[in-house]
Amino acid sequence: MPDLTRSPFDPSSAQMQSMGQAVLDLVTRFVDDRYSAPTSDYGDLAPMLAALSAAPPDSGSDLAGLLATVRAAADKGFDPANPGFVAYIPGGGLYAAALGDFLACVLNRYTGVAQPAPALVQLEASVLRWLCDTFGLPTGSQGVLTPGGSMSTLSAVVAARVDRLGEAFSTGTLYVSDEVHHSVAKSAQIAGLPRAALRVVPTDAARRMDVEALRDMVHADRAAGAAPFLVVASAGTVGTGAVDPLADIAAVAADEDLWLHVDAAYGGFFQLTQRGRTMLQGIELADSITLDPHKGLFLPYGTGCLLARDGAALRRAHEVHADYLPPPSEDAGLPDFSSYTPELTRDFRGLRLWLPLHLHGVHAFVDALDEKLDLAREVYDALREIPSLEVPWPPDLSLVAFRPRDGSDADAQQLLDRINGTGRIWLSAAPVRGTLYLRVCILSHRTRPDRINEALDVIRAACS
Ligand SMILES: *Cc1c(COP(=O)(O)O)cnc(C)c1O
C-alpha cells in the first residue's frame, strides 16, 4: 500500500541523512579544492553546454549522477570563490552562510510580513539594527535585505523620488559622478525618470566627485527650471575604488535639499574597521546607503542591503496594503519587510547574515577586512616598484588600478591575458576616462598574504 499520509517528496530520515551526506561530501571537497583550483576554465565548454540543455525527465534519476553534473558545471567559467580571484569583484561565500541558507530553505517560514514568524523576523531585524548603528544612523532608521546592490539602489531612488518630488517628477534631476556604477542609471530608468534627468558630475584627479562642480550644476539646473532631488555618492567606485568626499557632498545635499544616497556596495563594510571609518566619514549623514553583504561580508550572492535614515520615508515609497494580509506591523522592532521593498514573499535572507555573524563574531570580520586593506597597500607599494607600470592612485580601500606605462589599451589587455593565463590569479580591467586599467580588488576571505605574494610574482613576470 502506498503511504498516503506523507509527501512523496519527503525521503525517509535515513535517506535524508545519506542524501545530505552526499552534498556535504561535494561541498567539503569543493572548498578544499579552491586553493589549488585554476582561477578559470573555459575548456571543452560546447559539449558540456549541449549535454546540459536537456529538459527534465519524466521519471527521476540518481542523486550521485546529478551531483556529479553540478560539480562539473560549477568548474566552468571563472571562479569568484577562488583565493586568486581579485577581479572586480570577488564573491567567496561563507560555509556558515550556506548552512544558514540550507536551514532557511528547509524551515521555509514566511518572513515577508512580521506576524507569521515574529521571532525569525526579529532575528533578521537585529542584524539590520546593528547595521544602522554601525553606520551611525538614528532611531527611526530602517534596514532591509534585498537580492543585491542594484535592487537596493532602485528602492533608494524611488524613495528619494517620492519623498522629494511626490507624483510630479518629470522635471526631477539626480546627480552622479562619471565613475558611478551603472545601477544608478538603471534605477532611474526603471523609476520612470526621463533619461535627461541623470546629471553626470566630473571627477577630480583622484577620480572623486568634484563637489564644487556638483554645486554649480545643481544651481544651473534649478535656475533652468529643473527640480534637483537626489545626489548619489560612491563609497568605492568600480573603476578605481575611489571614495567620494562624503561629508562635503552631504553639505551640498543639506544646502540644496537633496536626498543623499551613498552607493557603498563595494566599500561599505570597511566601515567595520578603524581605517574604513576614517575613509567613509560622512556616510552617517546619508539618507540611504546601498550595502552588499555578498561582497564585503563574504556572503553568497543574492545578499544585498539597503539602509534608510528615515524608515517611514522608505515605507511610504513601497507600502501598499491588502485586506487579505495581516494588519500592518507598527512595531519598529518587528517590521513587515515587504513594506520596504518591492518583494512580498521573499527569501529568508536573515539567517544567512545572522548565523555567520553570531558563529564567528564581528571581530573575525573586522580582522579579515583589515587584512584586505593591508594587502591592497602592499600591492600598491610593490606595483609602484615595477618600472614598466603606471600605478596612479593609492588605494582608498582595497582596489589598486594599474596599466603598462605609455602602453595602449591593447597592451593592457595583453598584460591582463598573460596574468590571467597563469590560472593562479584573476584580474579584471575597466576603462577609466576612456583608458583601460587593470585592477586588483582584494575582497575575498580566501585571499590571504600567501596568494597575494604569489600574485605579485605573477605580475612581475608578466611585465618582464
Ligand atoms: C556591485 C556593485 C553594485 C551592484 O550591486 P549588485 O549586487 O551587483 O546588484 C553597485 N555599485 C557598486 C559600486 C558595486 O560594486
Three-state DSSP class for residue 118 = helix
In degrees and rounded to multiples of 5, residue 385 shows phi and psi of -80, -10
Q: In degrees, to the nearest 5, what angle opens at C-alpha 296 toward C-alphas 339 and 374?
A: 155
Q: Quick one: which of 354, 340, 338 has its CA closest to 307?
A: 340
Which CATH code of 1.10.10.10, 3.40.640.10, 1.20.1630.10, 3.10.20.90 fits the domain covering 108-349? 3.40.640.10
pLDDT of the chain along its 464 residues, tens only? 778 999 999 999 999 999 999 999 999 999 999 999 999 999 999 999 999 999 999 999 999 999 999 999 999 999 999 999 999 999 989 999 999 999 999 999 999 999 999 999 999 999 999 999 999 999 999 999 999 999 999 999 999 999 999 999 999 999 999 999 999 999 999 999 999 999 999 999 999 999 999 999 999 999 999 999 999 999 999 999 999 999 999 999 999 999 999 999 999 999 999 999 999 999 999 999 999 999 999 999 999 999 999 999 999 999 999 999 989 998 878 999 999 999 999 999 999 999 999 999 999 999 999 999 999 999 999 999 999 999 999 999 999 999 999 999 999 999 999 999 999 999 999 999 999 999 999 999 999 999 999 999 999 999 98
State which ligand 1 atom lies nearest to the alpha carbon of 235: 13
Q: Report the distance separating Cα 337 and Cα 360, nearest Å.
A: 26
Task: Compute the distance from residue 277 Cα to the ligand 1 centre, in Å.
Answer: 20
* Contact residues for 224 (Cβ-Cβ < 8 A; gap 6+): none
Backbone angles phi, psi at 115, to 5 degrees: -65, -40
pTM strictly above 0.95: yes
CA distance 85 to 444: 7
Distance, CA 352 to ligand 1 centroid (Å)? 19
Q: How many residues does the chain have?
A: 464
CA distance readout (Å), 97 to 146, 149, 266, 337, 360: 16, 18, 19, 20, 11
- pLDDT for the residue 407: 96
Strand 399-404 with 389-390, pairing: antiparallel
For residue 367, the number of C-alpha atoms closer than 13 Å in the C-beta half-sphere is: 7
d(CA 157, ligand 1 centre) in Å: 15
Rounded CA-CA distance 247/258 in Å is: 14
- Kindly report the three-state secondary structure assignment for every residue of 56-112: CCCCCCCHHHHHHHHHHHHCCEECCCCCCECCCCCCCCCHHHHHHHHHHHHHCCCCC
Angular region, 140: left φ>0, alpha ψ -120 to 50, beta rest:
left
Q: According to DSSP H, which parts of 266-361 are helical? A: 274-279, 293-296, 311-318, 350-360
* Residues ≥6 apart with Cβ < 8 Å to 91: 80, 81, 294, 295, 300, 301, 444
So what's the pLDDT on residue 333? 84
pLDDT of residue 92: 86
Cα–ligand 1 centroid distance for 325 (angstroms): 33
Per-residue confidence (pLDDT) for residue 404, from 0 to 100 = 98
292 lines ligand 1 (CB under 6 A): yes
pLDDT at position 2 is 77
Specify whether domain 362-463 bears CATH 3.40.50.300: no
* Ligand 1 center from residue 238 Cα (angstroms): 8
Find out whether 34 and 423 touch, Cβ atoms under 8 Å: no
Name the residue of 207, 292, 305, 439 whose CB sits within 8 Å of the most ligand 1 atoms, as the mutation to test its pocket.
Answer: 292
Q: Which burial class, exposed, middle or buried, applies to 163 when counting CB atoms under 10 A from its CB (0-12, 13-18, 19+)?
A: buried
Spatial separation of the C-alpha atoms in residues 84 and 452, rounded to whole Å: 8
Rounded Cα distance, 148 and 80, in Å: 16
- For cell 580588488, the residue is 441
Distance of alpha carbon 231 from alpha carbon 307, whole angstroms: 16
